[in-house]
Amino acid sequence: MDIDKRTQQLAGRLAYIRDIFGPRENASVAMLKHRLEEFLAQAPGLGMRELSQQVARLEELFSLLEGKLENELCPMDRVRIVRHPQRICLKDILENVYDNYTEIGGQDEWSIDPGIIIARATIARRMGKKTVHQSVMVIGQEKGHGQEFRNGGSIKPWGNANALYYMRVAEVENIPIHTYVFTPGAFPVEDYPGAAQQIAKNLYVMAGLKVPIVSVFSEGGSGGAEAIALADRRLMLSHGYYSVISPEGAAAIEGGLKDKASPELIERCAERLKITAFDNLRLGFIDRVIQEPPLGARPEHYEFFRELRREVVRATDEVVHQAQSLGPLRALAMRRKKRTADPQDIFVRWQLGAKARHALVEQRYAKFRDMSRSAFLDNRALGVRLSTALARGLWSVHSLLTHDLLARYKKRFSGLLEYVEAEMRALGQGVGGPFTLLSGGRRGVPPETLECLTTLSCPEEGACRLDDVWVYVSPKSREDRTLTCPNTATHGCLDLWAPDLFGEFAGVCSHCGHHFPMEFHWYLYNVFEFAQAYEFNTAIEAGNPLEYEGFGLKLAEAKRATGLASSCITFEAKLDGISTVVAVLASPFRGGTVGAAEGEKLIRAVERARIKRMPFIMYSHGTAGIRIQEGTCGVIQMPRVTMAVRRYIEAGGLYLVLYDTNSYAGPVASFLGCSPYQFAVRSSNIGFAGPGVIRETTGMDVPPKYHRAFSALSRGHIQGIWDRRDLKKNLHQALLTMGGRNLYYR
Amino acid sequence: MLNVKEMLEELKASPYEEIEIRTPHTGVVQFVGLKAGDRVLGPTGKWNEKPGTLLANLTREKNKKPICATQKGAVTDIAAELEGKFVEAGERLLTIRHFLSKEEVIARILKKALHLFCAPERAKYYFVPEIDAKIKAGGEQSVKLKDGMEMFFVSRMKRETPLAYSGPEGIIYAVYFQQGDNVDGGQPLIGVCQEAQLSLIQDVVSRVQGEWEEQD
């Protein structure tokens, strides 16, 4: 190779190393710089042979020191690697890993969202002399080596919607999906279909997608990553990161500063969040790590692409093998083959049979159900655990008998009765004569019913005001002061006296209807009848699974201040006689954030509702998102709980979500947002990211009422807005009018 | 006849507006340390979502409420004797001297010099074809208006009804709406001036554009 070219390459390698290590002083980097400069200074006076020898020596030195530097990489260096414009991107993978591909989600900037690439690709497999082309759907974010229009792989809601559409296409065509995660996070705009709502829809659909999904993580930024990463096999590139939030974002929250956080704090946060491939492997959120060349894979590392190809093929084979067993010889061969062997040698067809497709979804659920099990504190005694498991089994049998077996006959019998009665009535009406007497005829409205309908129920007491007597009255009503409604300037609301406002008015401005925030206890006792409810899983406590520095104290303080063990309260309650399972996310406990304990409690509550055939109501008193100090243990709750919810809905349940105050980020972008019935209490805010984050990431200012429930309603994210004083009535009506086939109380 | 020049001279003599900030209701006043001559800002932000500079706090029934500046300008006269006192509603707290901008001066002149013909209801408005053709050929000022003259089509939910002009005779000075866009009820559609005054108004407007010195 030309000496100039080789020298240029070395200079490029040095520039790359310096980009990765940032401003840090490093002896190896300084040495490389010195040697290269020395060589460049001497070069004009050297002969051809001498030049060639010196360059070869320098190249060797570079390779040696790159290997050394590899061991010195800190988590933040890995973040810089995945964000580097020279980092491999999806186009490189399509070119080098697959044998052929056609882009179907748009081309370059002519795409609904150029940040995402969707392609149909093929991988050729050998079977003896025959070559079989296995089709796959490849979906992933594209950073495009710094192409501006790719938006850095930050996907807009319609990009995720497009990805979802083609996932469904893959399901129809019965071909596997390979997803490649190269995103710093989703683009947080609420325009339809809405960042949060679309990610929720993606998760919901992927939870039940009946084709193998394999995902490969390079840069896994929270919700944006989850939108395509709910997979049967999750592989990760050794220099990638997978995190609940970018280290910069974590540092901004940690520092509580309005200015930019210091680089040291960012580095510390990257360290604490446990974002590297090996951390995630150890925590169990990743199945395998694919080793990259020293200092990260770049487009010229062809050997790496071959390894990546082997890994994705092997992963797809494994998923298929798990769902539908291969022939005994191939199964044996697969077990015996070492990991380094080429998976091409054993032929596996990737199309699944009907039975296997069902098994695949079950295995996917089981896989995610097992994740983050050790990330919370389970203080239940062994006896309690055993009795819970026993009760669960008994309830399953009971439900099977009463709701599945007996109910079927009962339904048939009542259908028959209904048919006969309707026939008799028709006969009586049409024919007249003796048949009228037989069928009973019209007797008119009974006099007592008529009286009930036409007179006041308690006329001597004037108007009956039974509704405004609240069981629980907010302590804020004890204060002798007035409050001003925030709408005073536009609506001319008068000041409200706190005992009135927080007492009889239930925190609602009597002039404009603005809802002042109320404690979650108010809802527990006045809406969900908590006093008569049975609370379960109280012994599951939020923990500090990553040993995040300083978080243990904060958590203990939150537990002491609120008297709760986690931000989630789950209980069984009767709403006007209808038994329901209710889960509440309480805002005072760490902002209602969701971590491993909350996720586990939610899943158990959903499973309880499924087994006992009860409607499931999820009330978000306020949630700030996923608990960042739990890192990926928190973010994994998004797919986990969504999968449980999907199983519940498919089993015939009614899942109802009610938002209050402020609900943002992860939970809205997963298990809350995926419900077909979402309602909000007036004056609440719903969204993916708050105005500050939107401004920071997109550079756009958001209008003052961008996240208001009414905006969410007009964008089609929620189905209705309810007055706080009518919640109980509305919930009861919802239970009677909405929902799946398991609602036996009707 | 309206003397536009005299009006401009008057505005030049006192190029500001005095805004008196009064208490909206009873309460105890607490100033925030502003002095006469201090500059204050009105609401800012793309949607005027950020309130203006805090001028004082008014506390009634343990409810402390901020009183903010509604316009930008300079504080002139503070009723400092009210500090810490209980006051009635409508008590003057301070005065803000707001210097008029070019747009405000022009708006004031035009408000007096023009007759505004407003939209009676929210709808789409179109000129009748003859007037539309005239405007396209010879500009807005080529249209002479008379009371009762058929002038617009009001289009609402695909139902079109004619609308006649009512007001003094004159010519169209400016059109304030886009054909095909919805106009809210009460919004001006056209500004009408007397034909003789047209050149005078144009002259004054261009003079304001060129000569008016804005003060911060």
Cα A453 from Cα A366, distance rounded (Å): 54
Q: CA of B95, closest CA in chain A: separation in Å?
A: 20
pLDDT-above-90 percentage for chain A:
75
Cα A5 from Cα B195, distance rounded (Å): 79
**CB contact residues (below 8 A), chain A span 478-507, against chain B:** 479-484, 495, 497
Banded model confidence at residue B87, pLDDT cuts 50, 70, 90? very high
- Check pLDDT > 90 for residue A44: no
- What pLDDT score was predicted for residue B60? 94
Residues of B in contact with A691 (CB under 8 A): none
Question: What SS3 class is residue A643?
Answer: helix
The reply to whether omega before A517 is within 30° of 0 (cis) is no
Banded model confidence at residue A331, pLDDT cuts 50, 70, 90? confident
The tens digit of pLDDT for each residue in A105-141 reads 888 899 999 999 999 999 998 888 889 999 999 999 9
Q: CA of B28, closest CA in chain A: separation in Å?
A: 14
B51 in contact with chain A, both atoms CB, cutoff 8 A: no
Q: CA of A482, closest CA in chain B: separation in Å?
A: 6
Q: From the list B47, B61, B63, which residue is nearest A704 (CB)?
A: B47
> Which CATH number is correct for A520-737, 3.30.230.10, 3.40.190.10, 3.90.226.10, 1.10.10.60?
3.90.226.10
CATH class of A82-369: alpha beta
Q: From the list A495, A701, A704, which residue is nearest B63 (CB)?
A: A495
Banded model confidence at residue A258, pLDDT cuts 50, 70, 90? low
Query: In sequence order, which residues have a C-beta less than 8 Å from that of residue A22 and are 6 or more positions away?
Result: A76, A77, A80, A263
Encoding tokens for residue B138? 């010879």
- Check pLDDT > 80 for residue A440: no
Banded model confidence at residue A525, pLDDT cuts 50, 70, 90? very high
Residues of A in contact with B61 (CB under 8 A): 480-482, 495, 497
- What pLDDT score was predicted for residue A203? 97
Q: Do B104-211 and B15-99 fall under one CATH topology?
A: yes
- What pLDDT score was predicted for residue A257? 62
- Check pLDDT > 70 for residue A467: no
The tens digit of pLDDT for each residue in A62-102 reads 999 999 999 999 999 999 999 999 999 999 999 999 999 99
- Check pLDDT > 70 for residue A433: no
Q: Do A520-737 and A82-369 fall under one CATH topology?
A: yes
Average pLDDT across chain A, whole number: 91
B190-203 mean pLDDT: 89
Q: Which of A476, A478, A479, A484 to mutate to test the interface with B (most CBs of B within 10 A)?
A: A484
- What pLDDT score was predicted for residue A459? 63
A248-275 mean pLDDT: 84
B64 in contact with chain A, both atoms CB, cutoff 8 A: no
Angle (nearest 5°) at CA B33 between B30 and B38: 125
The tens digit of pLDDT for each residue in A451-463 reads 877 777 666 665 5
A214-243 mean pLDDT: 95
Whole-model pTM: value is 0.90
- What pLDDT score was predicted for residue B2? 64
Query: In sequence order, which residues have a C-beta less than 8 Å from that of residue B51 and are 6 or more positions away?
Result: B43, B66, B68
Q: Is A484 in contact with B65 (Cβ distance < 8 A)?
A: yes
- Check pLDDT > 60 for residue A339: no
**CATH placement of domain B15-99:** 2.40.50.100
B48: closest chain A residue by CA:
A704
Nearest C-alpha neighbor of A96 from the set A308, A238, A313, A312: A308
- Count Cβ atoms within 10 A of the Cβ of residue B88 and give its class: 0-12 exposed, 13-18 middle, 19 or more buried: exposed
Encoding tokens for residue B34? 């502003």
The tens digit of pLDDT for each residue in A538-577 reads 999 999 999 998 999 999 999 999 999 999 999 999 999 8
**Neighbouring-strand partners of residue A584:** A569, A619
Question: Of the ranges A300-304, A328-332, A587-591, A707-711, which one carries the lowest mean pLDDT score?
Answer: A328-332
Q: CA of B211, closest CA in chain A: separation in Å?
A: 35
- What pLDDT score was predicted for residue B7? 80
Query: In sequence order, which residues have a C-beta less than 8 Å from that of residue A477 and are 6 or more positions away?
Result: A498, A499, A500, A501, A502, A503
**CATH placement of domain B104-211:** 2.40.50.100
- Check pLDDT > 70 for residue A464: no
CB A728 within 8 A of CB A527: yes
Q: CA of A661, closest CA in chain B: separation in Å?
A: 20
Cα A520 from Cα A660, distance rounded (Å): 10
**Neighbouring-strand partners of residue A177:** A137, A213
Per DSSP, helices labelled H in A71-156 are 75-83, 90-97
Cα B209 from Cα A407, distance rounded (Å): 83
- What pLDDT score was predicted for residue A184? 92
Banded model confidence at residue B88, pLDDT cuts 50, 70, 90? very high
| Domain positions in chain A | 3-72, 82-369, 382-443, 476-517, 520-737
Residues of A in contact with B58 (CB under 8 A): none
Order the strands of the B159-164 sheet from edge to edge: B159-164, B150-156, B123-127, B182-183
- What pLDDT score was predicted for residue A691? 86
A700: closest chain B residue by CA:
B46
- Check pLDDT > 70 for residue A437: no
Banded model confidence at residue A250, pLDDT cuts 50, 70, 90? confident
Banded model confidence at residue A24, pLDDT cuts 50, 70, 90? confident
- Check pLDDT > 90 for residue A301: yes
Average pLDDT across chain B, whole number: 91
The tens digit of pLDDT for each residue in A160-204 reads 999 999 999 999 999 999 999 999 999 999 999 999 999 999 999
Encoding tokens for residue A620? 């978000």
Q: Which of B47, B50, B58, B59 to mutate to test the interface with A (most CBs of A within 10 A)?
A: B47
Q: From the list B25, B46, B62, which residue is nearest A481 (CB)?
A: B62
- Check pLDDT > 70 for residue A435: no
B65 in contact with chain A, both atoms CB, cutoff 8 A: yes
B60 in contact with chain A, both atoms CB, cutoff 8 A: yes
Residues of A in contact with B46 (CB under 8 A): 701, 703
Q: Is B62 in contact with A484 (Cβ distance < 8 A)?
A: no
| Domain positions in chain B | 15-99, 104-211
ipTM: 0.82
